[in-house]
Amino acid sequence: MFLLVGTAFSVAQTAAGLPSFDHAKLLMCSGLPCVDAVVEGRHLRLGVDTGNPNSILDVKVAEAAGLSLQPVNGADGKPFPGFQKAIVNNVAVGGVVFKEIRFLVFDLSPAIHAKTFPGVDGTIGYGAFKDRALQLDYPAGVFSVSQPLATSVVCPAVCGDISLITFGHRGPPIVTTTGFTVNGKPISVQVDTMFTGSLLVFPTSVEKLDLTAEAQSKKSEYFAFTDEGVDMFRAEAKRVGFGSKKLAANAPLYFAGPKVHLPDGLFDGTVGAELLGSHKVTFDFHDNKFWLD
């Protein structure tokens, strides 16, 4: 199964070049990456969510698009209240066309009205990018996706190793990578494009990363889109990097408040939009590699 890799990063051994990409405009919705999509002839706005394998769609939007909705059955075989599913063909995002996306459909309006979910019609989860390369060029505002890859593509220089590790012993699989460092120490982190913060370090990794003093911070900051709205404690990291590259000095560093869901020590932390937003980031979901420029 998927295991954390002990080394901090991998170095490319050959110059295989990048795959060809199709492109769309990368937008920002409530400070998070999103794209305009065409679903059954209707123009929708979807968040780009590497923190969730599932793509989701608001039920009113799905009904207005005339999608065929099927029940989602629970463990007892009975329909799970409030949740449905839809399979949509030929979803167009600019020049990118997904032959099929499977959406989980439910009512997003309460969370949007409570401002605990960004103002979008749904999301594209990372499961839609299976065997593809996904590139988010935040500074240039470009969303790029390859066709499903049949052969390996080696990342240009330094890349992290992606693992799909469950968030906690019973949580869904999420995208984690090696390669990042905090104050020179390697860390394994979830890369969550729907997290608005920079770097969140979980309690089980505080001591090993020599962040005990920083974790005593009482300066609180509210994150509306994490766990339906939670407080985290803010300090500073002297340096956050990727491989030998310095990404930020005196960077915001966050620690979990009492309502933050924890991953049972399976990885060290989560990086999000506040750190990623100055870079072009690439997820290779064929060879499970991650890098940024």
Tokens 């999103």 -> residue: 34
pLDDT band at 76 (very low <50, low <70, confident <90, very high): confident
Provide the pLDDT for residue 50: 96
Provide the pLDDT for residue 17: 65
Average per-residue pLDDT in the chain? 91
99: which 2 tokens? 């032959």
Provide the pLDDT for residue 126: 97
pLDDT tens, residue by residue, 131-170: 999 999 999 999 999 999 988 887 777 899 999 998 888 7
* Cα dist from 280 to 133, 169, 250, 292, whole Å: 13, 32, 21, 6
pLDDT tens, residue by residue, 6-34: 333 333 333 346 789 999 999 999 999 99
* Cα dist from 159 to 122, 133, 249, 292, whole Å: 30, 13, 21, 8
